[in-house]
Amino acid sequence: MIDTNHTTQLTDLQLAVVRALWTQGECTVLDVQQALMPERPLAQTTVATLLTRLEKRGVVSHRVEGRQFVYHALVTEPQVKGSMVEQLTDMLFAGRPAALISHLLSSRDVHAGDLSEVKKLIAEAEARSRVDAR
């Protein structure tokens, strides 16, 4: 079983493999290979190697069905996103979420709907913070 407090840093390719598992649930090597096509035309052996390495890291696991391994993710998308964003925030923004948010707001076009959503999320976080402070 995976420790939910450990960090899960994935490369772009590893993330694509795990996304296939999140989307489809359980997959054979061939299923993952087909899910990655046509954006990533990888050999089955390459996909098998990726899955084996991810399993050694505790990111995926497998069961045997007949003569095939059937893989499933041991980490959730929120766990991976949280871990990777936390590392990015620590590495590039000195651990300051406000600096990350400031960068995101100033470095790209932000639509009014997105700003409204961010304001709502901030209000919800402030409400949680007030409840936690009691």
pLDDT, position 71 = 98
Contact of 84 with 19, CB cutoff 8 Å? no
Same domain, 82 and 100: no
Say how many domains are in the chain: 2
SS (H, E, C) 2-52: CCCCCCCCCCHHHHHHHHHHHHHCCECHHHHHHHHCCCCCCCHHHHHHHHH
The domain in which residue 67 lies consists of 1-95
Give the pair of three-digit tokens for residue 126: 């402030």
Same domain, 78 and 128: no
pLDDT over 90 at 4, yes or no: no
Confirm whether pTM is higher than 0.85.
no
Using N-to-C axis directions, what is the helix angle for 97-107 and 77-93, rounded to 10°? 90
CA distance 57 to 89: 23
pLDDT, position 108 = 86
